[in-house]
């Protein structure tokens, strides 16, 4: 399933201060989440960001908050699945009403909040889910792998961040391609 710029949004789940240091692939997660944010800025894609219990786990990490600028409008949640949060459901319902049919998902932890969100969105049939596999992370590599496998079983497309970016770019030589080059080298 090919991602199109006209009908895609990005979801960043819980890339928070007190979680990130324990993530085994944290550098990859951070770099690739940032690349997806740049993609959202180049194509003016809607972006959703969640924070799990920010009082205890802190806010989204500073490099991502800085890059998001005005788009940093986190949805605070207590449920592991974002779908358990009314504010999240209102935003996804609004996106679907505006013809968003694809959701690129990144964040932490792969086998908990990311997986449960993908499972619930898949059950709702809200949109086609694309997981940026190198932009999701867990504390243990095994849990990351299991989370990816579980999401594949739920019908999500598992792709690399670069695959997602190049699918959306579609061709070289465009202003969008040139704008993304510094973020994919």
**Full DSSP string of 30-56:** HHHHHHHHHHHHHHT--EEEEEESHHH
pTM exceeds 0.75, yes or no: yes
Q: What is the CATH number of the domain that holds 142?
A: 3.40.50.850
CA distances from 53 to 92, 109, 119, 180 (A): 20, 14, 21, 33
Residues 41-60: tens digit of each pLDDT: 999 999 999 999 999 999 99
Identify the pLDDT of residue 126.
74
- Alpha-carbon gap, residue 80 to 82, rounded angstroms: 6
Please count the structural domains in the chain: 1
| Low-confidence residues of the chain: pLDDT under 70 | none
* Domain span holding position 57: 5-184
Question: With b meaning 16 or more CB within 10 Å and e meaning fewer, what string describes 104-117?
Answer: bbbbbbbbbbbbbb
pLDDT value at residue 63: 96
């Amino acid at each position: 399933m090919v991602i199109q710029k006209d009908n895609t949004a990005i979801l960043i789940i819980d890339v928070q201060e007190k979680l990130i240091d324990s993530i085994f692939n944290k550098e990859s997660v951070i770099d690739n989440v940032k690349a997806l944010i740049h993609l959202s800025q180049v194509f003016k894609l809607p972006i959703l960001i969640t924070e799990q219990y920010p009082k205890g786990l802190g806010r989204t990490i500073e490099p991502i908050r800085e890059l998001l600028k005005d788009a940093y409008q986190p949805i605070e949640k207590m449920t592991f699945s974002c779908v358990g949060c009314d504010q999240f459901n209102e935003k996804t319902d609004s996106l679907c009403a505006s013809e968003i049919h694809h959701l690129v998902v990144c964040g932490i932890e792969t086998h908990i909040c990311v997986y449960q969100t993908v499972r619930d969105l898949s059950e709702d049939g809200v949109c086609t889910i694309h997981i940026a596999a190198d932009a999701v992370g867990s504390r243990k590599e095994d849990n990351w792998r299991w989370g990816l496998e579980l999401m594949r079983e739920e019908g999500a497309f598992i792709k690399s961040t670069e695959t997602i970016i190049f699918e959306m770019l579609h061709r070289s030589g465009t202003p969008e391609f040139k704008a993304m080059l510094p973020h994919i080298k």
